[in-house]
A and B are shown apart, each in its own frame.
Chain A
Amino acid sequence: MNRFARLSQLLSPLVAVAAAFLVGGLVVTAIGENPFRIYAILFRGAFGSIDAIGLVLFNAVPLIFAGLAVAFAFRAGLFNIGGEGQLYVGAFVCTLAGLALGGLPAVLLIPLLILASAAGGAVWAAVPGLLKARFGVHEVINTIMMNFIAVGLTSYFIINMLREPGQMTPQTSEIALAGHLPRLAGPLSRIGIPLPQANPLNFSLVLALAAVWLAWYILYRTNLGYEIRAVGMNSQAAEYAGINVRRTIVLAMLLSGAFAGLVATNEVMGFRHRFLDNFSSGLGFMGIAVALLGKNTPLGVLLAALLFGVLNTGALEVDIFTDVPRELILVLQAITIILVVVGNEVFARRAAAREGRAAGVPLPATEPSREA
């Protein structure tokens, strides 16, 4: 990739974000508010205090996992739309294990629950993976269907069988204390960062950063990653090279689902400590947007998730201190995504024209890149 293309890869999301804020500002003006005031409040809400920054990170963590799930599958040429279902199953399995294995010490229980979360997501993603590999059924249909099944089933079990005794809220009891991920407030204040004790930011942030590194490492440093990328870019050549395409597809889906399942480390192990029915409300789908904005690279996912964390956190403040409805933030996010996709296409075409080949890139990162 040449320098121009590389630069545009970096620039196009930034330009898109700027444009999105501009359009968002127009919308704010249209409903009779001062956009500068609103944006000032939004950014104060996200960056105004250590507490606020902690919240931004806390909101970003599940999006990192969900975004990695989509981006990872994309490298194998698969659209995993099923992050939502996979994270529900991951959280469900994690909760069950956390309820059942109360006797274990934290050093055992925490790793076990992390594995349980990943395994739950992996199994759920493996089903559409197998159906694709075995029968060639398109994964988009089956991942969506698996979403409905996951939401319905977990809901059914929580309401009818696992509901916390004596409670109306559709949620399970708390998992064993040894399975709680510690909050970061304690360790951070010891090194001089005064994050309030009430801040929900927890150790799953560290896990999320590790997952970003792991996704990059698998894709670019392992045999499996080489095969995944080969299958994603040219499955005929992969087959020619002796790569087992079906096996690679299933493995890529498994790993993708595992990343989605890890959302539970934040939602269950780090924050709620239980399974609350319908807790996600679309985290899995936001993951698609995050991956798109992050151009399906692990590092890009991290940055995009942080941006969404800022928007989500600032939205609360806007909601509290102004008459601008919180929904406007959703509008802003949607506009950002649309502009990124459009902007990327425009850049890609220009770069393609310079390189002398045909454009027409369906999604940002079909142009493979080796950067993390």
Chain B
Amino acid sequence: MSERHAVQMRGITKRYPRALANDRVDLDVEEGEIHAIVGENGAGKSTIMKVLYGLTPPDGGEILLWGRELSGHRPADAIREGVGMVHQHFMLVDTLTVAENVVLGAEPVRGCCLFDAAASRERVRQLSSEYGLSLDPDELIENLSVGLEQRVEIVKVLYRGAKILILDEPTGVLTPQEVRELFVILRALRDAGRTIIFITHKLEEVLELADRITVMRDGRVAGVVSAAATTKEELARIMVGRDVLLRVTKEQARLGEPVLQVSRLSAVGRKGSHVLEGIDLEVRSGEVLGVAGVQGNGQTELVEVITGLRKASAGSVTVSGRETTNRSPRQVRDLGVAHIPEDRQARGLVLGFTMAENLVLGRHHREPFSSRGLLSLGDIRTHAERLIEEHDLRPRDPDVDAGHLSGGNQQKLIVAREFDGGPALLVASQPTRGVDIGAIEFVHTSLLKMRDQGAAILLISAELTEIMTLSDRIAVMYGGKIVAEFEGGRVGEEELGVAMTGGAGPTARGSVSSDGAPGSRHATGAR
């Protein structure tokens, strides 16, 4: 590793109206290293990266790239100097091919003005094989798995000549297998001399991948450590300022009456094929049923049908003995069903609403938040203040727009809202996506507390450890069906992983067509 600094950020300060996001932050990244940034939600990680990439001008401080001061604070300036950002919300055009997406905006030209398709394909193929990305330049984006889409984003950045790659929480949406593959790619990039900065909340990943780690806390740098010389516990302590329970313990479930009963449920997708086929499920009061599976195998649709957001084509759903098949989301909610949606920005929040307004979303029409058609602003505010306090949402100001919260705090806001009010059934999709370790601990203990108080919980997560720690039973979805069911605590990660891919191979996306009969040999306990 050379001693040259690829990035030197000196005394960066960035003030938002209600938060000091970066307070005299110094960040040194050496050329050719993988540098991780960790810290609690709202610590200022995304902000410092936005400053580096030129998305937001700092209020003070300077940025040096390879020892030279960066002139200008726009993405164009940063890109010119070799900085690239792999976006978290992928910005790809679904109907174009991989190659077309990669060159979009900087297309190779033949003659005076003709798009050189052959050259783009060639360039993508070359970059792809150089770093082991295995991308087919001619494949349409809409046919790719999330993991592959992310690789397209990486190639896009490389194509534009990035020598420094920024990845803000790249692993949040990936399966464990995809994460491993991403790490292989990132190491290859480093070994080829590129510099990588990545943000994550998963400390195992940090220790496995990073060379050095900058820990942030409350907008400041709390420490810089070498990955070889630290442990998960130490990192957590620097981040949070106290010891963190890295694993929650749970009691034996005390099962009650069935709350959610799903029988022979099917649903049809846009293209007329079955996205759900004959699903049978039961979740009892006092029980956590985990649903494991590679994204895109019907979990989203299952949740949507249960919560009234999508129509079933056959079968039935009952909640606490009442038929709810194809009822409206409000009717389902009013039976005591809470729902943490998988995509917080698309469904879970109105970004232009304040925290207070968002914290009553879904219950705004009920007492005490409104009566006789009028909002009770006082009650809405008190409610917000209480949840902000209980769930440690930051900033502690009910009047801040949800769009101005850090990613993890947006997620925590939704969790706070849906946990509140004692639901009979909680449907939780990726409940801890993007939240820090302290908050994960809190979410997990609260979830188990809810279970012990008699709630039925349907947990959908791409995070196998999360599924395995919390679930009393685990169902595996593949190709729109439940292909296996296990007792919680009696199954290993390997076994689950195999069931999740239908035995077809690590990165396959499950077929969702009606004739695709996925690997039923793993159907140990499917009902």
Q: In the complex, which residues 215-246 of chain A have their Cβ closer than 8 Å to any Cβ of chain B?
A: 221-227, 229-230, 233-234, 236-244
Q: Chain A contact residues: over half helix, strand or loop, or mixed?
A: helix
Inter-chain contact B349/A234, CB cutoff 8 Å: yes
Inter-chain contact A234/B351, CB cutoff 8 Å: yes
Inter-chain contact B374/A222, CB cutoff 8 Å: yes
Inter-chain contact B361/A233, CB cutoff 8 Å: no
With a cutoff of 8 Å between Cβ atoms, the chain B residues found around residue A368 in the complex are 352-353
Q: Which residue of A lies closest to B333 (CB)?
A: A242
With a cutoff of 8 Å between Cβ atoms, the chain A residues found around residue B352 in the complex are 229, 233-234, 367-368
Contact code string B322-335 (vs A, CB < 8 Å = 1, else 0):
00000011101110
Q: In the complex, which residues 80-98 of chain A have their Cβ closer than 8 Å to any Cβ of chain B?
A: none
Contact code string B54-69 (vs A, CB < 8 Å = 1, else 0):
0111000000000000
The docked-state distance in angstroms from the alpha carbon of A320 to that of B373 is: 52
Partner of B373, one of A3, A223, A238: A223
Partner of B348, one of A230, A237, A357: A237
Partner of B362, one of A221, A240, A367: A240
B375 an interface residue at 8 Å Cβ cutoff? yes
Inter-chain contact A223/B341, CB cutoff 8 Å: no
Inter-chain contact B330/A226, CB cutoff 8 Å: no
Chain B positions within 8 Å of A, measured between CB atoms, are 14, 16-17, 47, 50-51, 55-57, 307, 309, 328-330, 332-334, 339, 341, 346-354, 357, 361-362, 364-365, 370, 373-375, 377, 401, 403-404
Q: Taking each of A222, A239, A242, which has the highest tally of chain B beta carbons within 10 Å of its own beta carbon? A: A242
With a cutoff of 8 Å between Cβ atoms, the chain B residues found around residue A222 in the complex are 370, 373-375
Inter-chain contact A356/B353, CB cutoff 8 Å: no
Inter-chain contact A239/B17, CB cutoff 8 Å: no
With a cutoff of 8 Å between Cβ atoms, the chain A residues found around residue B346 in the complex are 234, 236-237
A354 an interface residue at 8 Å Cβ cutoff? yes
Inter-chain contact A223/B309, CB cutoff 8 Å: no
The docked-state distance in angstroms from the alpha carbon of A224 to that of B403 is: 22
Chain A positions within 8 Å of B, measured between CB atoms, are 1-3, 221-227, 229-230, 233-234, 236-244, 353-357, 367-368, 370
Inter-chain contact B57/A242, CB cutoff 8 Å: no
B409 → chain A, closest Cβ, in Å? 16
Q: Which residue of A lies closest to B15 (CB)?
A: A2
The docked-state distance in angstroms from the alpha carbon of A224 to that of B364 is: 10
Inter-chain contact B330/A244, CB cutoff 8 Å: yes
Q: Which residue of A lies closest to B347 (CB)?
A: A240
Inter-chain contact B57/A354, CB cutoff 8 Å: yes
B78 → chain A, closest Cβ, in Å? 13
Inter-chain contact A239/B309, CB cutoff 8 Å: yes
Inter-chain contact A233/B353, CB cutoff 8 Å: yes
Inter-chain contact A230/B353, CB cutoff 8 Å: yes
The docked-state distance in angstroms from the alpha carbon of A230 to that of B370 is: 16
With a cutoff of 8 Å between Cβ atoms, the chain A residues found around residue B375 in the complex are 221-223, 225-226
The docked-state distance in angstroms from the alpha carbon of A370 to that of B401 is: 10
The docked-state distance in angstroms from the alpha carbon of A234 to that of B210 is: 38
B199 → chain A, closest Cβ, in Å? 15
With a cutoff of 8 Å between Cβ atoms, the chain B residues found around residue A367 in the complex are 352
Inter-chain contact A226/B333, CB cutoff 8 Å: no
With a cutoff of 8 Å between Cβ atoms, the chain B residues found around residue A356 in the complex are 14, 47, 50-51, 55-56
Known: A230-B350, A233-B353. A240 touches B364 (CB 8 A): no
Q: Taking each of B50, B346, B349, B375, which has the highest tally of chain A beta carbons within 10 Å of its own beta carbon? A: B375
Known: A2-B17, A233-B353, A368-B352. A241 touches B56 (CB 8 A): no
